[in-house]
Structure 1
């Protein structure tokens, strides 16, 4: 299927987990995928190789989204990667997937972790969108990765849940702001997905079973479960869907 042929997609945090799954799926649909990563260059290169081995097009570029110059470095790397492929410095799809977690319960919080989570999960997506508006083509797509933690109590990581609540609010506001340009803005909200972010919670069969029990399907999510929904939202078929929060948790917390 090549329904995204001729389009350029950026996926932040695409070196592994949900981001890698999204990058691979959008490339399979015909998009040129810019694979952003923060630290793990080898993993990002592996994502690119996987895309290319399946006949797709991708390139990797780095930006530490917690750094003060994150947005400048991000777009410099993006533009350089596009230029190397002979592409114009514009894009059609932005998937804000990169995120940080691990804040702990309220009595465990520290200002440093609070600031880092808000920098990566909230500040970076907002200013990537702001700076990218002159690059994002009319009719484009923005998908923000939220979390089921904004719809259920999640005291185990209160700051993380707060950041994703901010992402939901941002999604609503920008959907209305960018609608006149034909740009849709939506959020997808995974539950427990088998990624490095929650690996410590899946170290025993009993722990894995406990996470799987959250879903009505009795299993932990896979990155492809999220990537398929993102692929729909960035396609022409979703042209009439904007400002929405899509629960992709496998029926968790029903």
Structure 2
């Protein structure tokens, strides 16, 4: 932990996809700050919850949920707010970066990809705003893929461009309520999923060449920026997309 954000202690935080990859690193990061964390995911996370309880002395609240089921997602957020005393921070992190040839995308594929990568983000934001009686912070995870025009993943890229636009629109709409809405656009973060499904030695080496900072990014690299945006240190920051990509989009 490189910094302590004292105002996050005791705050209620809700994270989508908080049991693996970047989400797991975020769960750890907020627990280390003394926050009360709830997260949802499709797969059982009991082992991760037990590990967090052993490390931090308090277990995050895990609620098994498919975020494309809007009613289930809203119910999970209600449960988290009731358990932890309201809601102060939402982190929309869960996503599915599937690859498709554009000419092979069916309406069913398009709708399924938007459901997880975009629609769920909006309805989580809306529910969070309803639960944030005294203001709060929303952080939406986007991706540099829309800044780079990444080929082979048009539904995902489109969703992430939409997230950036939605973030700025909601920041304007909910600013008078004291709700800050920002986004984070990571570069290529090497989670277990990325290493297993998409990364090859050649693709990793090529991407590293584009980076200004010559180190592969890990989920832990996303924690500091997220904590900052959630905290009072970013009290007058809203409607922004923070790029954390080791310099790829500016110089690569």
- What is the TM-score with the length of structure 2 in the denominator? 0.90
Q: 5 Å matches for 1:105-184?
A: 105-184=101-180
- Partner SS, residue 218 of structure 1: coil
Residue number in structure 1 paired with 2:49: 48
Relative distance call for 1:240 and 1:37 in structure 2 (3 A) is: same
Deviation at 1:219, TM superposition (A): 2.5
Structure 1 counterpart of 2:187, from 191, 198, 210: 191
1:178 Cα offset (Å): 0.9
Where does structure 1 lack aligned partners over 5 or more consecutive residues? none
Are residues 1:60 and 2:54 paired?
A: no
Shift of 1:136: 1.8
1:142-170 Cα deviation digits (max 9, x unpaired): 00000101211211211110000110110
State the partner residue of 2:236: 240
Among candidates 11, 26, 29, match of residue 25 of structure 1: 29
Residues 46 and 137 (structure 1 numbering): CA distance in 2 closer, same or farther, change over 3 Å? farther
Quick check: 1:103–1:109 contact (8 Å CA) kept in 2? no
What is the CA distance between 1:208 and its match in structure 2?
A: 2.8
- Is there any run of 5+ residues in structure 2 with no aligned partner, and where? none
Offset of residue 239 of structure 1: 0.5
Change (3 A) 1:214 1:16: farther
The structural deviation recorded for 1:111 is 1.8
Q: Is the 8 A contact 1:139 1:182 kept in 2?
A: yes
Which stretch shows the higher mean deviation, 48-57 or 25-34?
A: 48-57
Say whether the 8 Å CA contact 1:17–1:223 is kept in structure 2. Answer: yes
1:35·1:48 contact (CA, 8 Å) conserved in 2? no
Deviations 1:157-190, CA, capped at 9 Å, x for gaps: 1111000011011000000111112111000001
| Cα offset, 1:82, TM superposition | 5.6
User: How many angstroms does 1:51 deviate by?
Assistant: 2.5
CA contact (8 A) 2:101 2:152 kept: yes
- Bigger CA drift: 194-203 or 234-243? 194-203
TM-score by length of 1: 0.89
How far 1:138 sits from its partner (Å)? 2.2
Partner Cα separation in structure 2 for residue 9 and residue 81 of structure 1 = 9
Contact 1:94–1:142, Cα closer than 8 Å, also in 2: yes
Structure 1, residues 205-252: CA drift from partner, whole Å, max 9, x if none?
A: 333322322321122211111111001000110001100011101111
| Number of residue pairs matched by the alignment | 244
Is the CA contact (8 Å cut-off) linking 2:31 and 2:37 kept in structure 1? yes
Q: CA RMSD in A?
A: 1.8
